[in-house]
Amino acid sequence: MKRIPMVKFAELTAEQWAAYDAIGASRDGQVLEVFMALMHSPELSRRTQYLGEYLRYLNCLAQNLSELAILVTARHWNCEYAWHYHVPDALEGGLAPDIIEALRTGRRPDFEDAEEAAVYAYVDELQANRKISDETYQRVLEALGAKAIAELTALSGYYTMMAMTLNEHRVPLPAGAEPQLSG
């Protein structure tokens, strides 16, 4: 079945160019394919980037926790693109390779870090059940605080939206990248 085409760089309108330039300025000149998939609505693409910038780089969570939440969300959605780009960031942020591998293969990781365990439980439960039990909520609230739980919820929601966009517009992996997730 035919999907909407990716907006091509050479065919950008003036409004799309403005959005493209704004996105590039906030990402060291790089505009990922996901933003080009959204470029049919330039304002949506631009605002999505700004929200993502805050949730990914400026939230109050440590990088290992933020990337763990992103990977759990990407795995729930079988989003190869998000998985591909976030595994290196997760490793750089200190998330253990065995945790990443457990997520990749659909197993519950073994955690030594209580905050990582709490973030995993929260995002996994949110993705699987679309709501959080009082016990899980309280565990994360006590471990990380109110601001973190608000941002964690928004982060998982943002990457849910990104996974939906990437999967349903069939945004391909970069050339040479192999899929890592199984349905």
Task: Tell me the pLDDT tens digit for each residue of 109-150.
Answer: 999 999 999 999 999 999 999 999 999 999 999 999 999 999
Phi, psi of 169 (to 5 degrees): -95, 5
Exposure string of 40-65, with b = 16+ CB inside 10 Å and e = fewer, is eebeebbebbeebeebbeebebbbbb
Total-model pTM: 0.93
Tell me the pLDDT tens digit for each residue of 93-113.
Answer: 999 999 999 999 999 999 999
CA angle 175, 176, 179 (to 5 degrees): 100
Topology classification of domain 61-168: AhpD-like (1.20.1290)
**Would you tell me how many other CB atoms lie within 10 Å of the CB of residue 153?**
17
